[in-house]
A and B are shown apart, each in its own frame.
Chain A
Amino acid sequence: MMKRILVASAAFVTVAAMTSTASAASPSVGSTFAINGSVAAVCSLGNLPGSQTVTLTNLTNADGTLNTAAFSGLSLNLGTVWCNGSHNSATVTAVPLVSDQTGTFDASQFANRIDLTLNATFGGSTFPVVDTAGGPTTGKSVNGTVGIVEGAAAGNVTPDALNSLKLVAGTYSGSVTISVTPGV
C-alpha cells in the first residue's frame, strides 16, 4: 500500500512539471497542431510519353513534287492528358523534314526540305502554332501556357506547300515534340 502511494505521488509531480508552462489557473490545458501536406504539380501526357517513330510513305507524286496526302494520316493522338497545376508551361517544337542529300541543286526547281506546321491541342487548350518555315534545319519552338486541364490531346502535322518544286531524292528526317512543364 505504501508503494502505491509513493508511485502515485511521483506521477503527480511529473505532470505538474510538464504543465508548468501553461497557465496554472486554467482548468484544462491543450495545444493546436498544424498538419501540412502538398500536392505536387504534375502533368501527364497520356500513355505515350517518350519517343515514337512515324514513317511517311509516298512522299512524292509521280511528277516528283510533294505528295501532301502522305501527311493526311499524321494526326498525333496522345490520349487522355492532364495537368493538375494552374500555371503549366508548354513548348511545342517542330523540326522540318530534311534530306540527307545536301549536294548542289537548282533551288528554283528542287527542294531538299519539307517545312512543317504543328497544331496541337491539350485537353481543349490550344498550343501556339509552330511553323518551321524560314527557320533553321534544327527546327523552331514556341512557348505557351496551359492551365489546369484534363482531356484529350492531339497534334496535327501538315507540310508547308512546296508549290511546284520537286523533292531531291534521299532520306528525310524531322520531328515534332510536345513538352509540358507542370507549375502551380
Chain B
Amino acid sequence: MARQLIALAMAGALAPALAHADTSSSSSVNVTYKLTGSVDKLCSLGTIGSKTLNVGTMINPSNGTLGSVSSQNTSVTGSWCNTASTISVLATPMIAQSFTGTPPGGFTKAVNYTATVSGWTAPPASFTTNGDDSGNGSGATPDAQNQANPETTTITVGVGTFKSPNTADLLVADPNYSGNITLTLAPQS
C-alpha cells in the first residue's frame, strides 16, 4: 500500500513538469546576423580626350585685332559620382607667354573667352574670363552647378566666345597665348 501511494504521488508531480517542457519545445530557436556596410561618397573623372585645346591663330591679319576664333572642345568619358555632386569650372585668360611687362596702349597680351562644361548638369557650368589687357582681374570664383542625383556620363569641356579686353585692342605678337581651365567634380557634403 505504501508503494502504491508513493507511485501515485510521483505521477502527480511529473504531469505539470512535462506540460511545461512541451510548451517550451514548440518554440523556435533562431540566429540573426545583421549585415551592415557603407559606401563612401565618391566622384571620378573619366578619361580626358585632350588636355590641350588648340584654337590656332587668333589675329585678324588685316587690322591686328582679334580675328574669328573657332570654338574647341574635348570630352571626358566615363566620369561618375555615386551621390549628389557639384561640378565647377574656373578659367584664366589666354596670355602671351613670351611678352613681358605691360603691353603698350592700344595693345593687349590677353584674350578672354568662355569655358563651358556641359553634360553633367543643366544648365552647364560656365566661366567667362574677364581679364584686362595684361590678363589681370579675371576673377577667381568658379561657376558651380549641382547635380542632385548619382550620375555617370560624358562631360564636354568647350571654349568659345573669344574676346579681347577692348574691342579695338591689337594683339601683341606671341607664338603662345595660353590659359588654363580647371574642372572640378566633387560629392556634395
Contacts and interface: CB of A to CB of B under 8 A. Distances in A.
A172 B39 contact: yes
Given A51-B34, A172-B38, A166 B29 contact: no
B28 A110 contact: no
Given A104-B149, A169-B83, A179-B28, A53 B37 contact: no
A130 interface: no
B167 interface: no
A127 B35 CA distance: 20
Interface in A78-110: 78, 85, 91, 97, 99, 101, 103-106, 109-110
Interface residues of A, number: 62
A167 B152 CA distance: 12
A104 B84 CA distance: 10
B140 interface: no
Interface in A35-65: 35-38, 40-45, 48-57, 59-60, 63-64
Interface in A120-163: 155, 157
Contact of B24 (A18, A40, A57, A171): A40
A109 B42 contact: no
Given A38-B18, A168-B82, A177 B36 contact: no
Nearest to B84: A103
B36 A169 contact: no
A119 interface: no
A28 interface: no
Please classify the interface of chain B as helix (H, G, I), strand (E, B), loop, or mixed, using the class held by over half of its residues: mixed
B2 interface: no
Contacts, number: 160
A179 B38 contact: no
A172 B82 CA distance: 14
A157 B149 contact: no
Given A54-B36, A60-B39, A176-B32, A103 B26 contact: no
Contacts of A74: 35
B34 A173 contact: yes
A42 to B, nearest CB: 5
Contacts of A106: 149-152
Interface string B172-189: 000000000000000100
A42 B29 CA distance: 9
A181 interface: yes
A42 B23 CA distance: 11
A37 B15 CA distance: 9
A110 B150 contact: yes
Interface of B: 1, 4, 7, 10-11, 14, 18, 21-22, 24-42, 44, 80, 82-84, 148-152, 187
Given A52-B34, A166-B150, 13 more contacts: A18-B1, A37-B14, A37-B18, A44-B29, A54-B36, A74-B35, A109-B152, A169-B83, A169-B187, A171-B37, A172-B36, A176-B35, A182-B29
11 contacts: A40-B21, A51-B32, A52-B32, A53-B34, A60-B40, A64-B80, A116-B35, A179-B29, A180-B30, A181-B28, A182-B29
